[in-house]
Structure 1
Amino acid sequence: MAIHGDLFSYPLPEFLQWLDSSRKTGTLQLSWEAGERKLFLLSGQVGATASEGLRGRVARLLSLPKLAAGTRVLAAFDELARTPDVDAAFDAHGVQARWVRDLGREELFAAMTDLTIAGQGTFHWTEDADRTGEDWVPSDMSIRELLFESLRWVDEQGDVDKALPIDALSVKALSPPSPSQPLMHRIILALTTTPQNLGRLRLSMGVSRSSVTRRVHELLRAKLVEVDGAPQVEADPVAEMLEKGAVLMREGQYDAAGIVCASLLASDPADRRVREFARLVQREHVAALYADLPPLVVPQLIQAPHAMVMLKPEERQIAGLVSGTWDVSTLVLASPARELETLKTLAKLHRMGLLQLTLPR
């Protein structure tokens, strides 16, 4: 099945939501005045992205701050034609695959932000996910995360443009890059040890203005760079907490990310960024739990009275529904608790050795 359309009639965020809810597999091609980009999806996950010259840009971004030789990066990309294992391909050439994924994600966030703000362009969807012959880079994230991050960028773009309105502003690093910093921060700090014109910095990096200005704005907010002529930028505690929460979520620490969400919602429940992030964390947590507890698997309760007394009353209530005939999806529907809480309880019972999982016949 193929679908064509324009992003004025069918806004990009809505189309991405449809792809996510449908758990689609295929290729989404986006075309606008800035060029063309392809997203390769597998069951709602953005496995890779492609655009003309993308691999060369990634190699350049890693070579400019001397994180990796450009020739090694390109050789690792060539290796992908011979092996489907991304990590092995880059490890073989001494390049960290996570850096490449980070830059692939950065390209996507910036492109989706630009397209959402512009509200123009066209899309073409096909269920053919073949990447052969494409200049693709791994990105490995869910559509939900892509949608959340790009909308957060859109919401915060006004503050970025207000602080960095023109490309003639000069950027200078106030501290050296550190391995603990996000990759784009490290690259920018390495390139601005001597003052750099913002426009020249963007052109040398070969990435979009929205990407460079956002990252410079983050560094400015953290007082890691100075920008001549830029107004004083105050720290945005919500943005900082959201960034920390996003890191926790990517690391699979969903409960910790949920705590961040709860505190942010308590302080400002009207903030769209916070509400969207809370939904994202819940959906990602549910998806991760279903990966360990597939919907059609049938749990069987192992009787252990001494262990059952350690459960909370609501957990014992869910455990009482486990009959050995209902699968996980039926238990979720029958449970008085929310889907997430039910799955968390089933996962806890499994970790405690109180559940045996059997595949349906």
Structure 2
Amino acid sequence: MALHGDLFSYPLPELLQWLDGSRKTGTLQLSWEAGERKIFVLSGQVVATASRGLRERVARLLELAKLSSGSRVLASFEELQRTPDVEQAFATHGVDVRMVREMGREELFSSMMDLTIAGRGTFHWTEDADRTGEDWVPSDMSIREMLFESLRWVDEHGDVEQALPIDAMSVRAVAPPSASQPLLHRVILTLCANSQNLGRLRLSMGMSRSAVTRRVFDLLRLKLVEVEGAPQVEADPVAEMLEKGQVLVREGQYDSAGIICASLLASDPADRRVREFARMVQREHVAALYGELPPVAVPVPVHDPEGMALLKPEERQIAGLVNGGWDVSTLVLAVPARELDTLRTLAKLVRMGLVQLTMPMR
């Protein structure tokens, strides 16, 4: 199935929500004044992105930051034409594929923000996910994460523009880069060891103004750079907690991320960034649990009165509905609790040995 239209009639956030909710596989092509970008999606997961000159830009940035040889990075991309194994292609040439994937993520965050703010351009969706002949770079994140982070950038864009309004402002690093920092932070700190203005920095990096100023703003907030003429930028505690929460989600620590959600929602339930983050955490957690509990798997109860006595009343209620005939998807519909709570309880029952999963015969 193919779908095309314009981003004024069908805003980008709504389009991404549709792709996420339908767990689509295929290619989303976005076109606007700044050029064209393709996003390759596998069951709701962004696996790669492509745009003209992207591979050369990634190679140049990693070399400018003294993180890798540009020729090695380009050789790794060439290797992708001979092997489908992304990790092996980069390992063969001594390149850390995690840095390349992080650059892919950064490219997507900034372009999604630019397109959302502009509200212009066209899109074309096709279920053909073939990357042959494309200038693609691997990525690894869900559509939900891409949507959440780009919307967070949109919400904070006004603060960034107010602090860094013109390209003539000079940026100087006041701390050296370290391996614990995000990749673009390390790139900017390396390039600004000697002061240079925002315009030159942007041209050196070959990235959009919004992408560069966003990361400079982050560094300014962290007191890792000085910007001539910029106002004093104080740390935003909500933004900091959201960034930490996103790292937890990326590491699969959903319960910890959920605690951050609950705390932020209690303090300011009207903050759109917080609401979007809460939705993203919940949906990522549900998707991860379905990885453990396939919807067609049939939970079979195991007789263990002592184990059952350790459960909470609401968990025993769900355990009581496990009859060896209903599959996971049917149980989720039958239980009055939230989908996430039901799946978490079923996963707990499996871990405690109170339930065994069986797959239906084909």
TM-score range (shorter-chain normalised) is: over 0.9
C-alpha RMSD over aligned residues: 0.9
With 14-23 and 64-73 compared, the bigger mean Cα shift is at 14-23
Following TM superposition, by how much is the alpha carbon of 1:343 offset from its aligned partner in structure 2, in angstroms?
0.4
Matched, 1:46 2:40: no
- Normalised by the length of structure 2, the TM-score is 0.98
CA distance in 2, matches of 1:92, 1:324: 48
Aligned partner of residue 350 in structure 1, secondary structure:
helix
Structure 1 residues 96-115: aligned runs within 5 Å: 96-115=96-115
| Residue 260 of structure 2: aligned partner | 260
CA distance in 1, matches of 2:194, 2:111: 29
The code of the aligned residue for 1:209 comes to: R
Following TM superposition, by how much is the alpha carbon of 1:286 offset from its aligned partner in structure 2, in angstroms?
0.1
Structure 1 residues 152-301: aligned runs within 5 Å: 152-301=152-301
Structure 1 residues 335-354: aligned runs within 5 Å: 335-354=335-354
Following TM superposition, by how much is the alpha carbon of 1:313 offset from its aligned partner in structure 2, in angstroms?
1.6
With 258-267 and 301-310 compared, the bigger mean Cα shift is at 301-310
Following TM superposition, by how much is the alpha carbon of 1:14 offset from its aligned partner in structure 2, in angstroms?
1.1
Following TM superposition, by how much is the alpha carbon of 1:100 offset from its aligned partner in structure 2, in angstroms?
0.6
| Residue 13 of structure 1: aligned partner | 13
| Residue 69 of structure 1: aligned partner | 69
With 330-339 and 108-117 compared, the bigger mean Cα shift is at 330-339
CA distance in 1, matches of 2:229, 2:275: 34
CA distance in 1, matches of 2:184, 2:245: 18
Cα offsets for 1:9-53 (capped at 9, x unmatched): 111111111111121111111111100000111111111100001
The code of the aligned residue for 2:344 comes to: K
CA distance in 2, matches of 1:180, 1:41: 29
Aligned length: 361
Following TM superposition, by how much is the alpha carbon of 1:336 offset from its aligned partner in structure 2, in angstroms?
2.5
Cα offsets for 1:43-71 (capped at 9, x unmatched): 11111100001011111111101100001
Aligned partner of residue 223 in structure 1, secondary structure:
coil
Aligned partner of residue 245 in structure 1, secondary structure:
helix
The code of the aligned residue for 2:90 comes to: F
Aligned partner of residue 296 in structure 1, secondary structure:
coil
The code of the aligned residue for 1:239 comes to: A
| Residue 324 of structure 1: aligned partner | 324
The code of the aligned residue for 2:26 comes to: G
Following TM superposition, by how much is the alpha carbon of 1:161 offset from its aligned partner in structure 2, in angstroms?
0.3
CA distance in 1, matches of 2:133, 2:183: 28
The code of the aligned residue for 1:56 comes to: E
CA distance in 2, matches of 1:280, 1:303: 37
| Residue 310 of structure 2: aligned partner | 310
- 4+ aligned runs moved over 2 Å, structure 1: none
Percent of aligned pairs sharing the same letter: 78
CA distance in 1, matches of 2:140, 2:86: 11
Cα offsets for 1:79-138 (capped at 9, x unmatched): 111221211211121111111111001001100110111111111111111000000011
CA distance in 2, matches of 1:259, 1:61: 36
Following TM superposition, by how much is the alpha carbon of 1:307 offset from its aligned partner in structure 2, in angstroms?
1.8
CA distance in 1, matches of 2:269, 2:226: 33
| Residue 27 of structure 1: aligned partner | 27
The code of the aligned residue for 1:274 comes to: V
Unaligned runs of 5+ in 1: none
| Residue 57 of structure 1: aligned partner | 57
With 26-35 and 348-357 compared, the bigger mean Cα shift is at 348-357
Cα offsets for 1:136-175 (capped at 9, x unmatched): 0111211111111111111100000000000101001111
CA distance in 2, matches of 1:102, 1:260: 24
CA distance in 2, matches of 1:84, 1:302: 42
Following TM superposition, by how much is the alpha carbon of 1:239 offset from its aligned partner in structure 2, in angstroms?
0.5
The code of the aligned residue for 1:339 comes to: E
Following TM superposition, by how much is the alpha carbon of 1:259 offset from its aligned partner in structure 2, in angstroms?
0.6
Aligned partner of residue 137 in structure 1, secondary structure:
strand
CA distance in 2, matches of 1:97, 1:353: 38
CA distance in 2, matches of 1:259, 1:90: 37
The code of the aligned residue for 1:316 comes to: R
With 348-357 and 132-141 compared, the bigger mean Cα shift is at 348-357
Following TM superposition, by how much is the alpha carbon of 1:306 offset from its aligned partner in structure 2, in angstroms?
2.1
Following TM superposition, by how much is the alpha carbon of 1:78 offset from its aligned partner in structure 2, in angstroms?
1.1
The code of the aligned residue for 1:74 comes to: L
| Residue 355 of structure 2: aligned partner | 355
CA distance in 1, matches of 2:95, 2:305: 52
Cα offsets for 1:309-342 (capped at 9, x unmatched): 2221211111111110010011111112211011
Structure 1 residues 111-150: aligned runs within 5 Å: 111-150=111-150
With 350-359 and 231-240 compared, the bigger mean Cα shift is at 350-359
CA distance in 2, matches of 1:259, 1:94: 39
Cα offsets for 1:252-311 (capped at 9, x unmatched): 000011011110001100000000000000000000000110111001111122222222
The code of the aligned residue for 2:36 comes to: E
CA distance in 2, matches of 1:24, 1:215: 31
Cα offsets for 1:170-221 (capped at 9, x unmatched): 0011110111111111111111111111110111011111111111101100
